[in-house]
Amino acid sequence: MPTQSPANLRAFVRRHTRLTPVPGLPGLRLQLADDVMVVMQLAGTELGQPDPALPFWAFAWAGGLAVSQYLVDHPEEVAGRRVLDVASGSGLCAVVAMRLGAASVHAVDIDPFSQAAVALNARANGVRVGFSRQDLLGAPPPPCDVILAGDVCYEETMAGRMLEWLRLAARGGTRVLLGDPGRAYLPAGLERLASYRVRTSRELEDAETKESAVFTFAEP
């Protein structure tokens, strides 16, 4: 796999996305792409990956939009708190949390383009967001007050690992906010906090608007 410098990765994101307002979140702008397949192929070529992953970093996905709108409605969830945004993608939830007064926000994603996108999106919105490419799911959840997880139930193996890890965090006293528009591997038994009609794209979904909900883990 070719080694890419952080500057080169950021330049790639700038070339293939546009700084775009996010529907439903006034004042927020992200580097967003227009065509998921084109960006996926270009990213794969850039990293020397013949079978690249979806470019979650280049779009505002329904689960993250729901979490973000919930935070805007309930800023007390993150104000003054240490926040971890897992599978961060574009950094949407991380940026919103920081704008709402979080003490600190750390984004985590294994995709190198996510690191570039989060850096650009944090800068565009006047906030600072830490970042790690470490796969946290193989270790106990780190100390924090709130974990944000938008759209993590789209693939069976990933969802299973993530949900087990999030449950462990919740049992340890961390507030977990999970956003999901009804993906195949969303488990039963979560506590629904709110639902939103979010504007997405037929590039990503089967409709231009989706109902997406925010869940937490019910008290044992």
What pLDDT shows up at residue 36?
A: 87
On whether the CB atoms of residues 177 and 214 are closer than 8 A, the answer is yes
Which residue range is the domain that position 119 belongs to? 6-217
* Alpha-carbon gap, residue 52 to 140, rounded angstroms: 28
- Supply 123's token pair: 């800068």
- CATH code (residue 183): 3.40.50.150
Cβ atoms of residues 106 and 95 within 8 Å: no
pLDDT at 50: 85
Write the pLDDT tens digit of every residue in 66-81: 999 999 999 999 999 9
CA atoms lying within 13 Å on the CB side of residue 63: 25
Q: Do 198 and 62 touch, CB atoms closer than 8 A?
A: yes
Stretches in the chain below the pLDDT threshold 50? 1
Residues 100, 126: Cα–Cα separation, whole Å: 12
**Could you give phi then psi for residue 75, rounded to 5 degrees?**
-60, -20
Nearest in space to 152 (alpha carbons), one of 143, 163, 142: 163
CA distance 216 to 74: 14
Q: What total of structural domains would you count in the chain?
A: 1
Is 88 exposed, middle or buried, given 0-12, 13-18 or 19+ CB atoms closer than 10 A? buried
Give the model's pLDDT for residue 1: 45
Strands 104-108 and 82-86, sheet pairing: parallel
Q: Is residue 1 part of a domain?
A: no
Q: What is the pTM of this model?
A: 0.93
Please name which of 63, 101, 62 lies closest in space to residue 83, comparing C-alpha atoms.
101
